[in-house]
Amino acid sequence: MVTHSIGLTATIATSYADPFTVARQIASLDKISKGRAGWNAITSNPGGLANYSRSHLKKADLYPMKKEFLEIVEGLWDSYEDDAFIRDKERGVFYDPRKMHPLDYTGNYFSVEGPLNISRSRQGRPVVFQAGTSPEFMDIAAEHAEVIMAPGHDLEYLKAFTNELKRKVQNQGRSPYDLLMMPSHNPIVGRTEKEALEKLREIESWMPKGYRMPKPGLIGSAEQVAEQIEHWYREGVMDILLIRQDHPAGFKDFIQLVVPILQDRGIFRNEYEDDTLRGNLGLPYPENNYTK
Q: How many residues bind ligand FMN (CB under 6 A)?
A: 16
Question: From the list 9, 12, 13, 199, which residue makes contact with ligand FMN (rule: CB under 6 A)?
Answer: 13
Q: Which of 128, 131, 200, 237 binds ligand FMN (CB under 6 A)?
A: 131
Binding of residue 137 to ligand FMN (CB under 6 A): yes
Q: What is the DSSP letter of 176?
A: G
Q: CA Rg, the chain, in Å?
A: 21
Which phi-psi region, left, alpha or beta, contains residue 110 (left: φ > 0; alpha: ψ -120 to 50)?
beta
Shortest separation between residue 192's beta carbon and ligand FMN, angstroms: 30
Q: Does 233 bind ligand FMN (CB under 6 A)?
A: no
How far is C-alpha 66 from the chain's CA centre? 16
57, 13 in Cβ contact below 8 A?
Answer: no
Q: Which of 1, 3, 45, 208 binds ligand FMN (CB under 6 A)?
A: 45
Which of 64, 118, 122, 133 binds ligand FMN (CB under 6 A)? It is 133
Binding flag, residue 44, ligand FMN (CB under 6 A)? yes
Please give the sequence-ordered ranges of beta strands (E in DSSP) within the chain, or none if there are none: 8-13, 37-42, 85-88, 93-95, 105-106, 111-112, 127-131, 147-151, 180-185, 188-190, 219-221, 242-243
Which residue stretch of 94-102, 147-155, 191-199, 279-287 sits at the interface with ligand FMN (rule: CB under 6 A)?
Answer: 147-155
Element (H, E) at 263: helix 259-264
Decide: is 189 part of the binding site for ligand FMN (CB under 6 A): no
Termini Cα distance of the chain: 32
Q: Binding residue for ligand FMN (CB under 6 A) from 140, 150, 169, 189?
A: 150
Contacts to ligand FMN by CB under 6 A = 11, 13, 42-45, 131-134, 136-137, 149-151, 184
